[in-house]
Amino acid sequence: MHQEDIDVIDTDEPQPTDIVVAGEQRPDQLHVMPVQNRPFFPAQVMPVLIKSGDWSDTLKAVGETEHKMLALFYSEDFDHSEGKFNPQTLPQTGCVVRVHQVKEGDDGDIQFIAEGIERVHIDSWESTSHPYLANVSYPETEQDSEGKEVKAYAMALINAIKELLPINPLLSEELKDYLNRFGPNEPSPLTDFGAAITTAPGPLLQEVVDQVALLPRMEKTLALLKKELDAARLHSEIAEEVNRKISKHEREFFLREQLKVIQKELGVAKDDKTADLEEFQARMQGKTLPEAVEKKFKEEMQKFSVLESGSPEYAVSRNYLDWISQMPWGISSTDKLELSQARTILDKHHDGLDDVKDRILEFLALGAFKGEISGSIILLVGPPGVGKTSIGRSIAECLDRPFYRFSVGGMRDEAEIKGHRRTYIGAMPGKLVQALKEAEVMNPVIMLDEIDKMGSSYQGDPASALLETLDPEQNVNFLDHYLDLRLDLSKVLFVCTANTLDSIPAPLLDRMDVIHLSGYLAEEKLAIAKHHLWPKQLKRAGVKRSQLKITDAAMKKVVVDYCREAGVRSLDKALAKLVRKSVVKLLQEPQQKLSLGLKAIPELLGPAKFKAEQTLCGTGIVTGLAWTSMGGATLPVEANSIHQQSRGLKLTGQLGDVMKESAEIAFSFVSSHLSQYGVEEGYFDKRFVHLHVPEGATPKDGPSAGITMSTALLSLAMGQAPKQHLAMTGEITLNGYVLAVGGIREKLIAAKRQGIKEVLLPEECSGDYQELPDHVKEGLKVHFVSHFDQVAKLAFD
């Protein structure tokens, strides 16, 4: 017979009522059966299943006795499948049970109900083969339930059992059986019951069975119950922790699925696909779809309706329909083309920049006259911090159009502009489609920031991709790779920004209407600081205007001595620093009111970064004017004779190739025309001349310093210093003709900042000069020259 263990199971069989009490009907001989997994206790009533037919003889012999009793002994190594065991391996103490309702199944298994009675010892063996029979004795157990210690242990056992019952509700049935057989004041059965309901290993439980004395047995049982409680609590805590870790998303998912089932049963809801189809269809209501778009939408809807939700193509098709249905097909905002309101908005947001405002108003006036603004691409070019991005926002506000800005600086992938094809995983439309979706109209103002800083890589050239986007002749049928549909971008107003024009490809630049923004004068910066930057910093810090003020003189000192760049970004940072340091003082004395004057500026900002500039003057020294990406700058040029041993020219000052060529042309011209200016012909034949352009290691290049270098060399040869407070710009030829240069506004602003009173400009730049606003021209005496003879007369009287 095969027996792996004796299973303890619940049963609904009626329990016997003829309970045998210890001391009654004690036979001297009992049949013996070993149990494997755990010992049997006197307080238990449990079914026992034996998967072997070899023990049927033993159970038949027990059935033939009057008492129907059997001795069960725990044997850790015993295997019922062998049917035999070594009697010497049995423990000292076992349990007498009364056998009820023996049943033998068709497969040879035997089941009976064992009712535990009391402990038993084996004195000797009558039979060591089936059926096993032994002479037994019964150890006497203390029944003193009145002792203090016994009562205390009994209360502890009862409390431990009470704590264990809610954690393991299956024990309640065993407790009912126990209470049916024993009274509340019987500590010995209580102790055995407490040990029986634990999951302790067999050897530890056998120690409780072997312990006949009551108090030591209660100690052992209480220890086992405490371990069981600790393990049960730990298991409960782990289960609670796991339940807590189920995320909100998972809970919502299960609730949502249940809700779907309920709604489906009630007929008040549709599945996800049907809901999506209805939503896509609803989004298209009220939109004017081009014929190709409508055809593509219907095809994709038909395809989506037959796809299974588990199909890989399902998500791709759904995302495509999601994008195409959110595009604002045929929806446009109405432009506000009132020039007076536009002027008010521009003046409100920007101080200075009058020429730029006038240029924008001209642009708006053309749209107002025509009735619409379309096919326009504005390029705002200027140094950092002069307000290019904010002007783009102001244009959108003037027109009352949605504004969308994205930076193309550093962009290397043309898919950012034209989108990815749907065959790629994670494909998305380009930025322009995203802009139209967010703006919800087909004619927003889209700003392409830092267009001069685009790159190119193996993934494509985004600058070339922009050609189709920004060309008014082509963007009527702009094709996005993801949508694979033609979009009309002709109604979009594109505003681009750049610091320089040099790095913008010529074909792209040709499609733009360029508006130059040069730097600000000190007076303009002062107005910007008072009207915009200072209130913004106070608001950001949460400081009231009455608590912190700054005088106009102090503000001008910040502008002149600390922030001389073309834009106002560093001025904004300097004002923020003033506010931060002032807030520290306000926190120390909350009731005080601060007013920042001239003396407070060096204390808060440190020593001035720019001293009062003195124009270099003397023989061989001339001030030139140059343009940089940061605005205009003065450029002093120095010439000196090192020795008279040989002819030569040395150039220093981080000059580029163009500047070096200008220096060589100037040296050749002056050397060959000395006699015209009253200097002996061979002055430079035996002199080694050093020509230097200061400003440290700052690279300088550009065709604008020819006459400046020529004047410095002529001053050296004549031994006469040129006029003070004089600056000049212009390129020279080998025959002395003066050529036009660019950046006139920036150069004149730099001259005024430097304190220059008189400026020489090429004759061909007179038109650029006439377009400048009056406040730039004011205070400057400008001479237009076409040949170096005029330069020499004006520079040396």
State the catalytic residues. Answer: 704, 747
Task: Name the strand (E) or helix (H) holding 231.
Answer: helix 214-245
Q: Which of 668, 666, 665 is nearest to 647 (CA)?
A: 668
Helix intervals (H) in 379-505 = 388-399, 415-418, 431-439, 462-470
Are the beta carbons of 346 and 398 closer than 8 angstroms? yes
Task: Kindly state the tokens that stand for 111.
Answer: 């089941």
Give the list of residues 6+ apart from residue 274 with CB closer than 8 angstroms, or none.
Answer: none
Q: Please state the φ and ψ torsions of residue 271, each to the nearest 5 degrees.
A: -75, 170
DSSP letter (8 states) at residue 740: P
Are the beta carbons of 711 and 722 closer than 8 angstroms? yes
Q: Within 10 A of 354 (CB to CB), how many other CB atoms are there?
A: 16
3-state secondary structure of 164: helix
Bridge partner list, 403? 445
Q: How many helices (H) and strands (E) does the chain have?
A: 28, 24
Rounded CA-CA distance 229/772 in Å is: 92
Q: Which of 728, 718, 726 is nearest to 677 (CA)?
A: 718
Rounded CA-CA distance 747/742 in Å is: 9
Task: Kindly state the tokens that stand for 216.
Answer: 């030591």
The three-point CA angle 94-98-104 to 5° equals: 105
Give the list of residues 6+ apart from residue 428 with CB closer than 8 angstroms, or none.
Answer: 419, 420, 434, 482
Q: Which pairing describes strands 133-137 and 29-35: parallel, antiparallel, or unpaired? A: antiparallel
- CA 204 centroid distance within chain: 58
Rounded CA-CA distance 678/45 in Å is: 136
Residue 602 CA neighbour count, 13 Å, CB half: 7
With tokens 């909100």, the residue in question is 248
How far CA 748 is from CA of 527, 610, 775, 780, in Å, comes to 20, 19, 11, 8
Are the beta carbons of 483 and 323 closer than 8 angstroms? yes
Bridge partner list, 297? none
Rounded CA-CA distance 115/99 in Å is: 7
Q: Where are the beta strands (DSSP E) in 708-788?
A: 726-728, 731-732, 738-739, 758-762, 781-785
Helix intervals (H) in 26-147 = 56-64
Rounded CA-CA distance 110/131 in Å is: 15
Rounded CA-CA distance 786/789 in Å is: 9
* Helices 312-326 + 431-439 axis angle, to 10: 60
Are the beta carbons of 691 and 639 closer than 8 angstroms? yes
- CA 600 centroid distance within chain: 42
Q: Within 10 A of 115 (CB to CB), how many other CB atoms are there?
A: 23
Rounded CA-CA distance 567/353 in Å is: 12
Q: Within 10 A of 404 (CB to CB), how many other CB atoms are there?
A: 19
Rounded CA-CA distance 308/109 in Å is: 53
